[in-house]
Amino acid sequence: MIRKAFVMTVDADQHEEYEKRHKPIWPELEAALKAHGVQNYSIFLDADTHQLFAYAEVESEAQWASIAEEKICQKWWRYMRDIMPSNPDNSPIAKDLREVFHID
């Protein structure tokens, strides 16, 4: 299992809306994530900086990358683009983090 961590940002006045849109996440999106080997996926918010910290465990980098090709994922990105900084393809601007410590 590969542990992935990355950061994104939510607009300062959209914290509540971001959380609302994830409660619950669309069942079709959850199913797509799981079908692509995603497990144990969490997103945390630092309300002071508007930064989102995401952590997921994935079976492979290829499966993780292929989620972006799913129509439901692209639909989600379009749905979220109005409350967070996004790339031209509507994906959220995200920065991968490098693991420097882990303990089981």
Q: String of b and e for 53-73 (b: at least 16 CB within 10 Å)? A: ebebebeeeeebeebeebebb
Please tell me the distance from the alpha carbon of residue 80 to that of residue 62, in angstroms, as a whole number: 24
Residues facing residue 44 across a β-bridge: 53
Instruction: Tell me which residues are annotated as active site.
Output: 22
Instruction: For residue 54, give the nearest of 46, 43, 63 by alpha carbon.
Output: 43
